[in-house]
Amino acid sequence: MAVKTRQQHINREVSWMAFNERVLQEAADPRNPIIERIRFLGIYSNNMDEFFRVRIASLRRMAQLGTRDLSTLEDDPRKILSQVLDLVKKQQVQYERLFGELEEALKTEGIHLLDVHELSDEQYDFIRDFFQREVRHNLYPVIVSKRTRFPALEDHAIYFMVGLTMKGGSRASQYAVVQIPSDMPRFVVLPPSEGKQYVMFLDDVIRLQLHRIFAPFNAERIEAYIMKITRDAELDIDEDISKSLLQKMASSVDRRKKGHYVRFLYDSDMPKHMVEYVTSCLGVSGSENVIAGGRYHNRKDLMGFPLMGRNDLCFEPRPPLPHPLFRKERQNIFEVLAKKDVLLHYPYQQFDHVVNLVRESAIDPHVKSIRINLYRIAENSHIANALMNAVKNGIKVTVVLELQARFDEKNNIKWSKRLQEAGATVLHGVPGLKVHSKLLLITRSENRKSVRYCHVGTGNFHEKTAKVYSDVALLTIRKDIAKEVKKVFDFFENNYQRVQYRQLLVSPFNARRRFTELIKNEIDNAKKGLSSGIVLKLNNLVDSTLIKRLYEASQAGVQVQLIVRGVCSLVPGIPGLSENIRVTSIVGRFLEHARIYRFENAGNPLFYLGSADWMTRNLDYRVEVTVPVLDDDIKTELDDILRIQLAGNVKARIIDSSLKNKYVPREEGEEVIHSQEELYRYYKAKLESYL
């Protein structure tokens, strides 16, 4: 059945906006505790900043050049830009409404988010003293006039645009720009009073004390309006062959600070003449995303909204559980892995097991080498520190550290230098390819033989994100898999080599072909009357070629079940095309980040897990590694994970062409299944059964 492209695919950017609306749904959901709902507003705001810095910036460049990009499925970038900005404005209205509702909800709990008009005399005295003691020395106003250039505004920062009206009734004849300190907490907690608690934006603390800063001007009136800019985050890496990649990246990150403006967000109460003045100085216009917002910007800081001692207004703690096989305090990890493959599932289980594996390797006299590839790592990484310790103990350490992990470039440059200084061999990926795989390979001498212990995962070696990102990792010493993991690391060191992979699915070499073959196998089985089926758990599904293969599977009668957290360009439920495809999305307290693939294979299911989403960039322009799961117990566990998530009817949304994000319906009397809570109970019961 011929169906037009626009019916077959949902635009990537519009689908992403639908995903971020699911985050807003979490902020609106009264089943979530109030402070967690506020934090979801912060997550939404943070997502929007990144969206503008990357996707909107990209669309803007394409629109200016008059080009089209295959990744947008042949849509006109100008049309997409207009469509997306309309959605942004609609969601902005919804966001402001939710923020107001949550302010009122806090009041019912005795927590008051104060503004400048609500302070008692005692509270004003506290704010005045706090400002003088903690804030004033962090403020550096820039006076703007015809004789001085308007200051370059930093991405991620927020500013007051200040208008000074001089005595004598003249119009605001002087402007100033004041940056809100970014190295201070955004919220100031005031002393409690009469059983009530009080908190205030740092912005308002400064706003109240502006007369002190500008006392020399003897102004009659001082007006201050918040504003922020978003810059194009694209890195322009120069081609100077005399520089190392590390030097080029450092220079490029520095130049990012001067990237083109892609959004100017300002307080909607800012006077028109002031808006016109600022946009003129910045060189932006309405067509370049000038957006009126609320009184407060950079609401990503809501992710750090203070607890106020009210744990009852937050999610009930779900401390990561030990894996049953690693539950003993002095359990030797190598001995466990010598007997059996292990699947780790964060944050339900402890990421500390991986940290401990690297730490133990760093002091084990039998370990000869450690190879690891790092994409995103914590600012104070235990993994990286353990690697440096391994070097001190005479172990050969090779780190493939991807410098082009977007927005983590600065941190990765820092760790690259530290690891090199410690004596580790640091490789900066592969020319033309980002290294996004999650590999660890430890070579150990046992009975005069080399035994390789390997890790293939879906998430980064990052202690902080492992507490909130839901990821899986396979630990194994299977020779056929470990041998091919070694081949991947050999490729990092010798890019000219091309090798065959029989077990691993490695982008950009064989992953696309193998995924296509796995889908075709299900199609062939369905046509033969054999059992067939595909279950995919992904972050994003965008690649048009694989989407077409899934449509072909549906047309052949294959039941396709997809769990897609973020962007999904596939349209399920089109008669004659995708009626056998069901797509849901789960957004909850944990960020669904795992990639798990299940193919029915005529009753002998094949399972895979890895780092690759089904996006063109992941399949053709990055090094990604997907591993087959061969252990029967782990296959059963992956089946259980998928079964629980497919049955979820609390935080799961239906993805269809309408993009309405409707919750999965629940029949009267039907069991309530919150998949993330159910998975925690699943692992808790699993642990208890071993005790």
Can you give the pLDDT at residue 242?
42
Q: How far is CA 437 from the centre of its chain?
A: 16
Q: Residue 3's pLDDT band (boundaries 50, 70, 90)?
A: very low
Q: Is the predicted pLDDT of residue 48 greater than 50, yes or no?
A: yes
| Whether 111 contacts 310, CB under 8 Å | yes
Q: Check the CA dihedral 84-90-96-102 and report its sign.
A: negative
Task: Tell me what the pLDDT averaged over the chain comes to.
Answer: 90
Q: At what angle do helices 12-28 and 34-51 cross, to 10 degrees?
A: 160
User: What is the C-alpha separation between 571 and 579, in angstroms, rounded?
Assistant: 9
Can you give the pLDDT at residue 167?
74
Q: Residue 432's pLDDT band (boundaries 50, 70, 90)?
A: confident
Across the range 442-457, mean pLDDT stands at 96
User: Three-state DSSP class for 92?
Assistant: helix
Architecture in CATH for domain 324-493: 2-Layer Sandwich (3.30)
pLDDT tens digits, 274-329: 999 998 888 886 655 788 888 888 889 999 999 999 999 999 999 999 999 998 76
According to CATH, what is the number of the domain 116-241+259-294? Answer: 3.30.1840.10
Distances in Å between the Cα of 199 and the Cα atoms of 113, 186, 196, 205, 407 are 5, 10, 10, 11, 30
Catalytic residues: 436
Can you give the pLDDT at residue 68?
54
One of 1.20.58.310, 1.20.80.10, 2.30.30.180, 3.30.70.20 is the CATH number of 1-114, namely 1.20.58.310
Nearest to 51 by CA among 28, 74, 21: 21
User: What is the C-alpha separation between 44 and 303, in angstroms, rounded?
Assistant: 9
Where is pLDDT greater, at 429 or 150? 150
Domains 116-241+259-294 and 324-493 share a fold: no
Strand partners of residue 471: 346
Distances in Å between the Cα of 647 and the Cα atoms of 274, 509, 522, 642 are 54, 35, 23, 8
- The residue type found at 315 is F
Cβ count near 251 (within 10 Å): 16
As a whole-number percent, the residues of the chain with pLDDT over 70 amount to 92
Nearest to 429 by CA among 591, 253, 249, 251: 249
Q: Nearest 5 degrees, angle CA 479-CA 470-CA 10? A: 105
As a whole-number percent, the residues of the chain with pLDDT over 90 amount to 71
Can you give the pLDDT at residue 248?
45
Distances in Å between the Cα of 254 and the Cα atoms of 89, 248, 251, 272, 584 are 31, 10, 5, 33, 40
Instruction: Return left, alpha or beta for 534; rule: phi > 0 is left, psi -120 to 50 is alpha, else beta.
Output: beta
Q: Is the predicted pLDDT of residue 606 greater than 90, yes or no?
A: yes
Q: Is the predicted pLDDT of residue 331 greater than 80, yes or no?
A: no
Strand partners of residue 292: 266
pTM metric for this prediction: 0.90
Distances in Å between the Cα of 209 and the Cα atoms of 118, 135, 206, 268, 610 are 15, 10, 5, 22, 53
Can you give the pLDDT at residue 21?
95
Q: At what angle do helices 675-690 and 632-647 cross, to 10 degrees?
A: 150
Can you give the pLDDT at residue 288?
52
Residue ranges of the domains in the chain? 1-114, 116-241+259-294, 324-493, 505-690
User: What is the C-alpha separation between 308 and 305, in angstroms, rounded?
Assistant: 9
In CATH, which superfamily holds the domain spanning 505-690? Endonuclease Chain A (3.30.870.10)
Distances in Å between the Cα of 347 and the Cα atoms of 27, 382, 466, 676, 683 are 22, 17, 6, 10, 11
